[in-house]
A = this chain, B = another copy of it.
Amino acid sequence: MSQARLSDQVYAGIVEIIKAEALEVGARLPSEAGLAEMFGVSRAIVREALVRLAADGITEARRGAGSFVKSRPSDRLAAFMPLAELPTTLGSYEVRFVLEAEAARLAAIRRTAVEMAHVEEGLALLRAALLSSAPAHAEDMELHRRIAKATGNPAFLLVFDALRSDIERIMRAGVDISRSRPPEVIATMLGEHEVIVDAIRAQDPEGAALAMRWHLWEGRRRLMP
């Protein structure tokens, strides 16, 4: 089994510990040595998993003092996504923050009338799906993809598509979680997309980048309450 796969298992195992032992925010995790023994792996593998848990905002390292719980993945998340998939799906957010914010910025500067119509149509499809009982993650994905396309630079699409399966997995979970939530959350998700599209239409590059980054940030927060 590859080393990457091992650290994914340890990552999921630590999330499991946080949930099963109901560790509160601020609680201290077992030591690196303890975790290595628990999972039967080297300390280097444990360290790799801890770095990624910190990157995803689940734990926090304090120099010389160990790792602590920073936020607990939501129970809903666990219900909709196998724990083993958590590390790759959360990790994709960190790339999307910069990648899609830049795509929204450039789309606002360069979108042609044709691309703008394409984005507007994407928003209309997402709105219809969110407001009906249909699952909406395909439409959500498609709107983000159309914004990447409106940059006029195929490299954004290339990279977006490389992340596609990770993004799809998390959108599916995010949308499913949201759909079992009250209508206000649906309205919020729709409103966030509308602000992005408004800024691209108004050719406001900084507004578009900020609105996209905020939307993704809030999306990640909705997974980890």
Interface positions of A (Cβ within 8 A of B): 4, 44, 47-48, 51-52, 54-55, 57, 60, 62-65, 70, 88, 91-92, 94-95, 97-99, 101-102, 106, 110, 112, 114, 151-156, 158-159, 161-163, 166, 202-204, 206-207, 210, 213-214, 217
The 9 closest A-B pairs by CB, nearest first: A63-B63, A162-B162, A51-B152, A64-B64, A98-B98, A91-B155, A98-B102, A91-B153, A95-B155
- Other-chain contact of A99, B159, B204, B206 (Cβ < 8 Å): B159
**A63-B63, A65-B64, A112-B47 known; A155+B163 contact, CB < 8 A:** yes
B152–A48 touching, CB < 8 Å: yes
Cross-chain contact A57 with B204 (CB below 8 angstroms): yes
A159 is contacted by which of B55, B60, B154, B162 (Cβ under 8 Å)?
B162
Other contacts beyond A55-B151, A94-B106, A95-B159: 8, CB < 8 A:
A52-B152, A57-B204, A60-B203, A94-B151, A95-B153, A98-B101, A207-B217, A210-B210
